[in-house]
Structure 1
């Protein structure tokens, strides 16, 4: 038959290997047990000897057409010994398992790494021995690190769990992997799954390896996160995730319950879309003012401008209108007018003063955006507290 029992001990196989290496040859099994008679096999089994099942490799393999590499064939019988397909414990090796699994799952196209190209003729012999029609094979170029080294599962930073834990979206991972390889007419960031499907062409896959620059992943994620925020259904999921992150990061501080309200969290997302690469960016120290009121003294504000009271009064006057009427564009115009009513305070200094009063920070989004995000009532409260402290 196409398979046979092999009783060779690990010690004998090790000696074969050492002898081949000593002669500077590639180690291979010498197919010794292929020639055992039925009587010899029965005798060894009666003695309780351990065995494995090997597949009998035949010469004269048929060429196959790979979807990427074209016509190929590898005379595996000339370069290697008969492979083990069932181990001593009864478990199959990859060579048998992948053939059986793919057949019973009705797989029509096998797409795998190019390192398996040389094994395909062996797998086709297994399909032939089992009397099954083989699928089509396509071997894809390897993904390499930015420095040209092969990506490996031994590198802990390439596991999907790590990317999910860090907040990267599945769409962003799919986008960067397909963008760094081939199969498309041009490179393009931000493709949706539907666009990937419609634009992909097998004939455009190249045979050279692709460099995967994971430093670009945050930018890919920023694009897809923006899409999620703009989609009302997906945005609700982000709202819930952000609420959980706020409680996790700032739960031991005095967080006003209002900042966990859906309407407020949603407003934060909509105003910051396009500016963040990961949802967790919004709970970093740069955005702490969104969730926890800063401690800012009147004295700190006075070091920026002596007109702190006048500026505070004028800005508070802007906020008498309903919060819904506040827009970033309107506030930018009105804040310019406020500065024109001061005597000595430059516009940049006034923005610095207001940013400090509202966030306790020197950098961040525009003051107008901060005011719209926080809402009129919260802005007034923070300005009052800063002036009276």
Structure 2
């Protein structure tokens, strides 16, 4: 393992730097290669993020490549949606279908000529062959395997066709696929996460299809060809591809190409150990964006539950994730994702956004838009919205919390009857009058500490009403609520003029 990591670190020298031998070191290049058969979900975001972190940690390039060779399963809008979500998450690719780059196109369906050229090379060398077996025959093989309680596998029948037999079938225009001829015996390789691994794939599988009847390559061929032609140095992908890596390395050998280094990442699972399922509906990134979660929150929680970091801590920013990420410390244990903690993670990041002047401007603009959609006939001042955010920071899990009924008093005046105030205290009028006088006298000098002190001092003049009862009267007059933030915070939020107007309005009623 140490040998491999040393080799990897040598590759991590920024482009243009020279090693002891005087040779120019290769630029780190990694790729995220999803299939647009669905929208980006949490598991995909985690794989993309780990690739992004590795690239930025070592001054390399992060590539987005869309593997759309399964044309029958493509979902309209998914291709654009994937790149949209990477940009929203703050981890945009350096090269992609949208960004372009020196190794494009970055969509596999636009690279068919290249795959066909490689397949022809493999056919000519004898490393691949045409298979004319019909779907009916393959189905019979599968049924027979199940009947014998064996794992279904292709029997490599067409591997043994002579050149004349192949030409005869081609002259008859019989449909065919192209299969790659697997080598027998275990094939060992060193994975940067799982260490030395070996699989004798030929003993459990038949020769895999690398070019389908529709002219499109399978994943096994396309990812090898593209990784080589895009100069990918490291492949960080899910552990479900660990067994297939042997086939990919055999393809590299047959083509005479140098393979990249592989690191297979453990799965991201639900907290009960079950697999994340698209049927859950709430694992797609768009879902969290629409709910109002911050991108920083998602990046934080999907790395908090996994490995690659010295310790789990809440509230890490993307620059901190880049700095702390260490591929060599990645564990082989699956990562358990506790989505119940998502609101608390968002509270931490939202507080940080409110504290920062630049990101606070973004939040003010977002909240202003949300308020105008909810209260169409009301105009909201940005300075007022900013004051609300600063006063409620640390208490909000979501920006949309401020649109809840309990916060409606901040945006519209409540309707409060004097009779309701008198039910709380017979001195309701006196409570309101004293508070109005206090606000008028301290109009330009309002602070949390001052108001708390002065309000208590003024209301002690009312001997028939407890201070806690006076607070209930004022809270009801200011907000129409029986519970909620402190009265002093309400006054600071609304400002002295609005607070006076609401108290006088309630008293007049």
| More moved, 78-87 vs 325-334 | 325-334
Equivalent position SS for 1:154: helix
1:250: Cα distance to partner?
2.5
The yes-or-no answer on 1:343 pairing with 2:463 is yes
- 1:286 equivalent in structure 2: 406
- 1:120 equivalent in structure 2: 245
2-structure distance, mates of 1:190, 1:291 = 30
Conserved? CA contact 1:109–1:137, under 8 Å: yes
> For the structure 1 residues 74 and 324, does the alpha-carbon distance in structure 2 shift closer, same or farther, using more than 3 Å as the test?
farther
Alignment of 1:140-289 (within 5 A): 140-251=265-376, 255=378, 257=379, 260-289=380-409
Conserved? CA contact 1:61–1:125, under 8 Å: no
- 1:64 equivalent in structure 2: 189
TM-score calculated relative to the size of structure 2: 0.73
1:102: Cα distance to partner?
2.3
| More moved, 10-19 vs 309-318 | 309-318
Match of 1:53 among 165, 175, 178: 178
- 1:383 equivalent in structure 2: 503
| More moved, 54-63 vs 320-329 | 320-329
1:59: Cα distance to partner?
2.0
Match of 1:131 among 235, 256, 266: 256
1:93: Cα distance to partner?
1.5
Equivalent position SS for 2:263: strand
Match of 2:165 among 40, 53, 56: 40
- 2:211 equivalent in structure 1: 86
> For the structure 1 residues 3 and 288, does the alpha-carbon distance in structure 2 shift closer, same or farther, using more than 3 Å as the test?
same
Match of 2:440 among 314, 320, 323: 320
1-structure distance, mates of 2:318, 2:452 = 39
- 1:3 equivalent in structure 2: 128
Count of residue pairs brought into register by the alignment: 384
> For the structure 1 residues 54 and 322, does the alpha-carbon distance in structure 2 shift closer, same or farther, using more than 3 Å as the test?
farther
User: 1:147-168 CA distances to partner (integer Å, 9 max, x unpaired)?
Assistant: 2211123321100010111111
Over the aligned positions, Cα root-mean-square deviation in angstroms equals 1.5
2-structure distance, mates of 1:105, 1:247 = 47
1:289: Cα distance to partner?
0.7
User: 1:60-107 CA distances to partner (integer Å, 9 max, x unpaired)?
Assistant: 454211111100111111110111111111112121222223223332
Equivalent position SS for 2:385: helix
1:322: Cα distance to partner?
6.6
Equivalent position SS for 2:210: strand
Equivalent position SS for 2:279: coil
Equivalent position SS for 1:365: coil
User: 1:314-339 CA distances to partner (integer Å, 9 max, x unpaired)?
Assistant: 11112225755322222111111122
Equivalent position SS for 1:34: helix
- 1:18 equivalent in structure 2: 143
> For the structure 1 residues 274 and 323, does the alpha-carbon distance in structure 2 shift closer, same or farther, using more than 3 Å as the test?
farther
Structure 2: stretches of 5+ with no match in the other structure: 1-125
TM-score calculated relative to the size of structure 1: 0.95
2-structure distance, mates of 1:24, 1:323 = 85
Equivalent position SS for 1:263: helix
Equivalent position SS for 1:144: strand
Match of 2:478 among 338, 355, 358: 358
> For the structure 1 residues 44 and 288, does the alpha-carbon distance in structure 2 shift closer, same or farther, using more than 3 Å as the test?
same
1:309: Cα distance to partner?
1.4
